[in-house]
Structure 1
Amino acid sequence: MEEKAAKRVVLVPVPAQGHLTAMMQLGKALYLKGFSITVAQTEFNHLSPSDDFPDFSAVTILGGLSETEFKNLGPVEFLIKLNVVCEESFKGCLGQLLQQHGNDVACVIYDEIMYFAEAAAMDFNLPSVIFSTMSATSFLCRSLMGRLNDNPLLDPLEEPGEEDKLIPELYPLRYKDLPTSAFAPLESSLKLYMKARDKRSASLVIINTSSCLESSSLEWMRQDLQAPIYPIGPLHMAASASFSLLEEGRSCIEWLNKQAESSVIYISLGSLAWMEHKDMVEMAWGLANSKQPFLWVIRPGSVPNPESLSEELNGIVSERGHIVKWAPQKEVLSHSAVGGFWSHCGWNSTVESISEGVPMICRPFSGDQKVTARYLERVWRIGIQLEGEELKRGDVERAVRMLMADEEGVMMKKRALCLKEKIEASARSGGSSHNSLNEFADFINAL
């Protein structure tokens, strides 16, 4: 008897490191459950084959945008234009997949920001699924912000001094914690959120979070969307998948092996954030003055004139620090020498840190990072947020010492380890995230 072909799932990721990482982890998790995986990728940030995804197939959505256009437009306007130029090409990709695989193509799973994929799926009567690679709270904020053109929720952002006020509906978030972009005017962010919300007719939503982290936000999402919500994260625990658009340096692991247990603060500000020269120098002096060993990721392009900065930093940090261009983050965070994480609070970085029981210093840069930083500090109470336009070395020194050496840091570590236990329980057999992933797999098999 001929063996029945596996159901095929088409993934449509945003072409950016954090979004791609979560989508590829989802693909790996579904592949391990017996599904065939096709990744529909744009010409921008094209995926390369790797040992972790040898059985994935890929199709390329032609007519996309270039890296030059990304730099000229900025991330928000780039994504809006990407949704316009990709829809017709993606319809062609889906048509070819259906010709090749017929009814075995079960559904399209798209990053919530790649909303063109839903319209294309509807043309072929294919079910579509929204995948949120960010937190449930951030999803909820974007949904509320995109609900109306003239949104009274946003009025305080236009009034000087009002941005520090709490939002009654979203406690403990302040108006300045809303996921607005550092790369674009508020109007552009709202345009993207409105378009993403207006396009929603997906069968359900899956999200890379756990009920133990965001139960109230998840319940609000269910009421707001009137659709099934499946919290299936953290996905890096369900399916370990090595994927990076940047080359990871291994020297940091050798350096960590020589450090005392829980003594090192790890610093990485993500794949997009940038810093002014003066802030980088203040940060370096604050780290040096804290007397704590530190591992610092300084990504190429993250600071202007890196050559002139390099000599200056080397003199400041050589005694206690180690600098790399990029690091294998999950391996670093799980290392016994690491006791704290200074982060931009991207969602992948946050759940990776929580999953290892590592408390954080929060320096959000843009978008959902601000929401996450506030939750780390005020809800989960495992983070210290450094606020203000400019960094000051004294503030940096105090934050590092508080996290790594003071009693408050000890308590944050205990709370972080408690959250780690809860997340591990949710990912184990019978846990909430484990069950949600199985229920989602059952949904695909029933299509």
Structure 2
Amino acid sequence: MRSLAVANAPTPAAEASKDLAVGQRLQRLCDLLGVAGARLSNISADGLTAIAVAGDQTPVPALEARARAAAQPLVIADTDQPPMRFYAGMVMPGEADHPSQLLSLFDPRPRSQMMATTIAAVAGEALAMAAIARQRRVIEAQNKTIADFTALEEQRRTLFDRASATARIGIWQCNLSDDSLLWTNGVYDLFEIPRNTPVTRELALACYPELSRQRMEAARAHAIANCSDFALDLEIITVKGNRRWMRLTGAVESRDGVAHRVFGMKQDITEEKLLADRTRYLAEFDVMTGLANRSQFQARLAELDSGSAQFGALLLVDLDGFKQINDTHGHAVGDDCLRETARRLVECCIGAALVARIGGDEFAVLLKADLPRQDGLALAQGIVDTMRRPALAQGRTLRISASVGVAQYGGGSAEELFHQADTALYAAKAAGRDTSRSFAA
């Protein structure tokens, strides 16, 4: 027995080879995520023991300590502590014979919050899948000696749930012969259905809004017909009525070219989706007024140069004497005036291609190409008339006015159209303000 134990013990060379393989996988993960370095460490009562390191950067011990203690992955888009600016750390729970592990990702360059969260989500998914693969090998080895298949299946599901907890992933499968479903706890939790409840496709489909259901069914049918894979992000409504976003992946298992099982993962990406939507909103919209911001306006106007869009006219709107309102009554009153201006513009410009705030008290309106010239001129005067109405701001009744410059699009570049509208706006101001003018070529 002693000689057998010695023969089966891992040799230093074997351990070194294993560490090298893990390091190579870490480097591939770094390359995939575009980060400079990564470290995978075993967690023990004594601290962290590095298993493998990729890249030439060194993580900050204080951040690794925070990540180790955190209940959720620790993601810092910008540490403000050069030389390392970005950090993400996540813990993979251990098993009886395998310690918990900490994966750290780091880079000297900061990331946007959305990008940092996305990197962490992908890394967490990769970590969970690696653990699932490891546990699958353990289960397959145990399958040779465990006679009770029911006990083995329960163990498989428990291990899968523990492995996927960090990335909020659940495993699912559907037997195509009878449409029977098998879910791990992660999927039950995602749909807010009590664990171990018997589930059917009808019960699951009832949680999909119509558009999500159509997209999912189309992707699933295509994969089954072609024995291929699919992946898409979908909205669901849980049995408790909560709206969530889910990343669904699936693969078809076939026999002799005929699909017989579909299986894959379902991951709760609600926080990631909300963050992405919020980041996109901040990039494209003015927070104070809710109108499109200057960045979105410039992007839409530039469509003239690419030929992807045509517009009938551009109106530039400038509040008269807005600085005096701010100086006299304060910025809170000024902000209310801006919001009221935005509301009135939207009210006046129903059907416009875009209404945007492009500066402190400057607004722009892009009109559709099929709008007659006279309608554009009438709209400009209508804006002037609407802005004259008294405005209530912070309990004060104020009188505001606006000047409007109009440029009809008859060809040329986006820059030329903006210059023409700007010229018309200055003509309106020179005429005494509270009026509109049109650019005359």
Whether the TM-score (by the shorter chain) exceeds 0.5 is no
- Larger helix share, 1 or 2: 1
- Larger strand share, 1 or 2: 2
Give TM-score, length-normalised by structure 1.
0.22
Query: Does 1 or 2 have the higher relative contact order (CA < 8 Å, sep 6+)?
Result: 1
Give TM-score, length-normalised by structure 2.
0.22
